[in-house]
């Protein structure tokens, strides 16, 4: 066993309330507090992302690592993976999160052959099972990294070479089995390099069919092994490729319908991906909920002036409240949760900083939950919405939707009527209302 890594944080982080000045305490996240009939912990289902916090050293495209991650770059990668896991579980436990998430390559390095890679993963997964039993921390989801290794430079399922498709299928099979072995609640597929750089060398129609076939194989395997979690696709419009096929929720929904997967697959919505695709976080949740494919959330934040995926920790209660409001309207998470797919800035180099970042993110989400729950409970927004659409519950609205009217019948009706009267959309009044909830909710 490695000595304590976060030795300056000896105790688990506790809730101390909004007036607390202790930077190592929660001011809003109170796991047992009942909100709209459920414990806060059960609403939010927080998870720590293994990759940003333990498998990344702070390097960027211009410079090398800055973070204190002594296990990275070790001459004995398997021993280092075990040390990394001890540190990760020390962190999960002290932060008091119920879940974590990983890519296969975050927890286990590659060996010299695929066979050896699988054997290493199996060994590490056994270790993870032990840590999970010991700490009670669960796995929100697992996923396969099919974007870092050079073999995947032209994609995995959408690769022009079926040998790569086969390799990816084998890797996903193994990672799904590992996720299942660890009692994972979901399995995620983010299309890391499932897109293209230039149409000049790309057969788009063919690549979409390959991707459809791949997802179908994933669903078939889920049933074959009796995995009862959700299969989640994570939309992102670009980065690393210029155009990613899983562009946004609407594109994923259309894709799932086309390949007859809409009842089998849901979405994992990353906030920074939503904003990169030109949408709000709340929009993406609402779109998923309307399509019946809402699953889980990667909580992070972009930067208004940067057009790439900066994965900051969430800090805006207002932005998150509107998203959480849509989650609650959709009935909340089932097996999904709130994963902090977020990373420290490159200059944020002290060990304690990982705690400050997550505490801030958890408090932001907890406060957003309180705001969203009280807005929903008071019904103020819902009343306005109901009034706005009341006509659709009246005779005309019902007849139109039931198919009892035609263009001709409506033409005839309209000839005998005056101008319809517009009603105010009241956007500013509603924004003031949201501001009031953000200010007053405690
Ligand atoms: C990258 C994604 C990735 C997924 C899992 O942009 O957010 O980290 O969450 O592959």
Residue 121: which of 135, 132, 111, 134 has the closest Cα? 111
Sequence-separated (6 or more) residues with CB below 8 Å from residue 330: 285, 288, 289, 294
**Closest ligand 1 atom to the C-alpha of 145?**
10
> How is residue 417 annotated by DSSP?
S
- Picking from 369, 370, 360, the residue whose alpha carbon sits closest to that of residue 24 is 360
Concerning whether 106 is annotated as a catalytic residue, the answer is yes
Write the CA distances from 174 to 110, 119, 193, 194, 397, integer angstroms: 13, 10, 20, 20, 52
**For ligand 1, mutation pick of 55, 175, 192, 231 (most atoms within 8 Å of CB):** 192
CB of residue 246 inside a 6 A radius of ligand 1:
no
Marked catalytic residue, from 43, 52, 104, 106: 106
Greatest extent of the chain over all pairs of C-alpha atoms, in Å: 84
Q: What is the pLDDT along the chain (442 residues), one digit of tens a residue?
A: 568 999 999 999 999 999 999 999 999 999 999 999 999 999 999 999 999 999 999 999 999 999 999 999 999 999 999 999 999 999 999 999 999 999 999 999 999 999 999 999 999 999 999 999 999 999 999 999 999 999 999 999 999 999 999 999 999 999 999 999 999 999 999 999 999 999 999 999 999 999 999 999 999 999 999 999 999 999 999 999 999 999 999 999 999 999 999 999 999 999 999 999 999 999 999 999 999 999 999 999 999 899 999 999 999 999 999 999 999 999 999 999 999 999 999 999 999 999 999 999 999 999 999 999 999 999 989 999 999 999 999 999 999 999 999 999 999 999 999 899 999 999 999 999 999 999 999 8
The token duo for 102 is 């990983």
Query: Peptide bond preceding 334: is omega within 30 degrees of 0, i.e. cis?
Result: no
Among this protein's residues, is 103 annotated catalytic?
yes
Residue 157 beta carbon below 6 angstroms from any ligand 1 atom: no
Angle, CA 420 vertex, CA 419 and CA 425 arms, to 5°: 140
Choosing from 43, 103, 180, 283, the catalytic residue is: 103
């Amino acid at each position: 066993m490695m000595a304590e890594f976060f030795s300056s944080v000896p105790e688990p982080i506790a809730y101390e309330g909004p007036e607390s000045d202790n930077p190592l305490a929660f001011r809003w996240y109170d796991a047992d507090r009942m909100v709209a009939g459920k414990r806060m912990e059960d609403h939010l289902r927080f998870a720590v992302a293994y990759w940003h916090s333990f498998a990344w050293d702070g390097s960027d495209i211009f410079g090398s690592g800055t973070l204190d991650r002594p296990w990275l770059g070790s001459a004995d990668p398997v021993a280092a993976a075990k040390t990394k896991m001890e540190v990760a579980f020390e962190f999960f436990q002290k932060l008091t999160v119920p879940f974590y998430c990983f890519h296969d390559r975050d927890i286990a390095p590659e060996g010299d052959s695929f066979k050896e890679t699988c054997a290493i993963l199996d060994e590490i997964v056994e270790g993870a099972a032990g840590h999970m039993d010991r700490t009670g921390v669960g796995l929100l989801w697992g996923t396969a990294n099919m974007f870092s290794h050079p073999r995947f430079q032209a994609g995995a399922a959408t690769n022009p070479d079926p040998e790569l498709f086969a390799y990816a299928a084998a890797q996903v099979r193994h990672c799904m089995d590992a996720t299942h072995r660890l009692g994972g609640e979901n399995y995620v597929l983010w299309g890391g390099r499932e897109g293209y750089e230039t149409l000049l060398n790309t057969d788009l129609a063919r690549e979409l069919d390959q991707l459809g076939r791949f997802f179908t194989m994933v669903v078939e395997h889920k049933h074959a092994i009796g995995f009862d979690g959700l299969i989640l696709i994570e939309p992102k419009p670009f980065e690393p490729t210029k155009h990613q096929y899983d562009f946004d929720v609407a594109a994923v929904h259309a894709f799932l319908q086309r390949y007859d997967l809409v009842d089998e697959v849901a979405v994992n919505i990353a906030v920074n991906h939503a904003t990169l695709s030109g949408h709000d976080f709340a929009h993406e949740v609402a779109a998923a909920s309307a399509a019946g494919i809402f699953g889980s959330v990667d909580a992070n934040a972009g930067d208004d002036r940067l057009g790439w995926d900066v994965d900051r920790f969430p800090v805006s209660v207002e932005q998150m409240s509107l998203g959480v409001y849509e989650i609650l309207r959709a009935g909340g998470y089932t097996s999904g949760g709130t994963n902090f797919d977020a990373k420290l800035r490159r200059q944020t180099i002290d060990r304690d900083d990982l705690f400050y970042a997550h505490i801030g993110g958890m408090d932001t989400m907890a406060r957003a939950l309180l705001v969203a729950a009280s807005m929903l409970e008071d019904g103020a927004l819902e009343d306005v919405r109901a009034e706005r659409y009341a006509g659709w519950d009246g005779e005309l609205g019902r007849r139109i939707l039931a198919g009892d009217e035609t263009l001709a019948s409506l033409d005839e009706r309209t000839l005998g009527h005056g101008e319809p009267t517009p009603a105010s959309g009241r956007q500013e009044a509603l924004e003031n209302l949201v501001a009031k909830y953000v200010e007053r909710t405690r």
